[in-house]
Amino acid sequence: MSWTTPADLRRQVERLWTRGLILKAIVTEDPFFPRRLIIKVPASNEMDARYNEVRAWLTELRGCPHIRLIERRIRFHSVGQNDFPTEVWVDTEDDATTWLGKKREAEVFRALVDETRQRHPVLLEWLSNHPFPALTLAESWSRLLDVVDWCIAHPLSNMYIRQVDIPGIDTKFIEGHKGVLYDCLNLALPPDSINGSATGAKSFNLRFGFRNKPLRVRLRILDQACSPLAYLPLEEQDFQITGHALSRLHPIPERVFVTENEINFLVFPSFPRSWIIFGAGYGFEALKKVMWLKKCRIYYWGDIDTHGFAALDQFRADFPDAQSFLMDDATLQRHSAHWVVEKEQTLRSLPRLNVEEKQVYDDLCVGVHGNNIRLEQERISMQWLNQSLGSFW
């Protein structure tokens, strides 16, 4: 039977709910109800041929709660005049939500809307566009609005989130709701209270004026003659420092080695007029504003694999004169017994590699020496390291 049943009608109303249209209408106050539903009724020939089925269908439809039928009298060939449904309506939001078992959710959402309209009406746009996420935040919504209040009162505060003092709200609450707060603060704050150069949820702190934990650089001094802490024994000159503090150190070295591997950082031998920095893969953000590094000879030491060359390429975006160290074909071939497998290669153009580096990278990409070859930097022998350092003299 293709005639519309009460279950079909309920599914139509359910679609209105799942699309968020019923809740959105609460925000916009648009006249969403009464709402006409689609109905397919028996044809005239079916009334004659299937009269008993039609009567059962009609009885079921008339007994369906939460709807209003509009009927008109129609004359049929064999059964004469009968009242027959031509339209079906759901008259109110209450009818729809009660039918779907969503009355409580609608009441909760309406309370969110009422509070938002009173405190921050500009955020009604967010509720309208995200009704179901808003429902999941119902217990937290008042506190989220408290955070918005605080940010309006303390624009670009330059404080750590830990220093935000709002009754009932702690650091973890704000950290755990950065996604929704990012959207809400973008709507609620005036443009001069937003750092427009910082975009995306990961830039939450910078965008809204909170302090980030300072980036730190791990540093070893390789020569007492160029140590800013000359009163300490050389073997103790392994320390972490903020990028800002690093930029103020003096005296500065002639050369700086940068390595991705902590063990290499620790065992790197003493070397004249040199320091070594532990870069931790792609993590060079703290070095960008250290202006004196531009005056040094910088040597980058990464793994001989596709990700190692990608990190080198990225490093040169900020330090274009940096040279690679022990990332050459001779080092690769010398240590063939120590090759391992790179689980997933990065196969993309690396425009900042020089000719020799690009050749090694291309050979790795196409498998000249075997599939997914990788030589990790900590597998390079200390003898080869010392011999290579000897070439600097």
The pLDDT value given to residue 134: 97
pLDDT recorded at residue 128: 96
pLDDT at 114: 97
CB 220 within 8 A of CB 229: no
pLDDT score at 78: 62
315, 342 contact by CB (below 8 A): no
Cα separation values, 44 from 39, 70, 77, Å: 15, 18, 8
Q: What is the pLDDT of residue 373?
A: 95
How confident is the model at residue 200, as a pLDDT? Answer: 87
Angle formed by the axes of helices 21-28 and 6-18, nearest 10°: 60
Query: What pLDDT shows up at residue 76?
Result: 59
- Which pTM does this prediction carry? 0.71
Number of H helices, E strands in the chain: 18, 11
Burial class (CB in 10 A: 0-12, 13-18, 19+), 182: middle
User: Which of these, 77, 41, 73, lies nearest to 57 by C-alpha position?
Assistant: 41
Joined tokens for residue 270: 């003493």
- DSSP states along 261-312: -HHHHHHPPP-TTEEEEE-TTT--GGGTT-GGGGGSEEEEE--BSHHHHHHH
Q: What is the pLDDT of residue 386?
A: 94
Residue 117 confidence (pLDDT) = 97
Residues of the chain predicted below pLDDT 50: 282
Q: Are 333 and 325 in contact (CB under 8 A)?
A: no
Q: Residues of 45-67 as b/e, b for ≥16 C-beta within 10 angstroms?
A: ebbeebeeebeebbeebeeeebb
In whole angstroms, what is the distance from residue 195 CA to residue 207 CA? 5
